[in-house]
Amino acid sequence: MNILLLPGNSPRHKSWAEDFKSSLLPTPNIGSVIAQHYAHWRNGEEFADTDHELLIATASARELGTYAIIAKSIGTAIALEGIAQGKLQPTQLILLGIPINGTIASETYRNWLKGVTIPTIIMQNTKDPYGSFAELQALIEPGQTNISLIETEGDTHDYLDFATIGKCIS
């Protein structure tokens, strides 16, 4: 499986993405991995331009052919918006730490998630400061069987258990 990796907003996620990519490459069922590096990490802006980053993700997805998306934080917004617009068409979606209490309204996340029909796994820390597991559960429509929720212990917005995340790739 090829992977498009969409990290979080902070520039520290550049190393997170590269470390995660390195952890995936020795896995037998993993083909190519593209870890997106956001433009604002280079130009000093505080926040990712999600429209611009979606264009980059779309181009990367074309290179990969068949692919899964693994996204963290703002990367989840880029992935979900891209899927909603038909620009991204992964075969699987793994979302880490959806920032429910960030700059994008929780209702927007709810609407995006309603439209997702592919197998999706969402990992959320119990007390993630950007949205707890309980808050995430409230966003998921009853009967949406393609979405599996995994509660992970933690009170941070960090998702560093690469081995567990990697096991979710089908």
Q: What is the mean pLDDT of the chain?
A: 96
User: What Å distances lie between residue 146 and 49, 58, 142, 163, CA to CA?
Assistant: 29, 23, 11, 22
DSSP E strand boundaries for 58-134: 67-72, 92-96, 120-125
Residue 71: pLDDT band by 50, 70, 90 thresholds? very high
pTM (global) more than 0.95:
yes
Counted domains in the chain: 1
pLDDT of 147 > 90? The answer is yes
Kindly indicate the confidence band of residue 102, based on its pLDDT and cuts at 50, 70 and 90: confident
Q: Higher confidence at residue 108 or residue 44?
A: 108
Reported as a pLDDT band with limits 50, 70 and 90, residue 26 is confident
Mean pLDDT across 72-88: 98
Domain that holds residue 39: 2-167
State the CATH number of the domain containing residue 91: 3.40.50.1820
- pLDDT at position 3 over 90: yes
Mean of pLDDT values over 43-48: 91
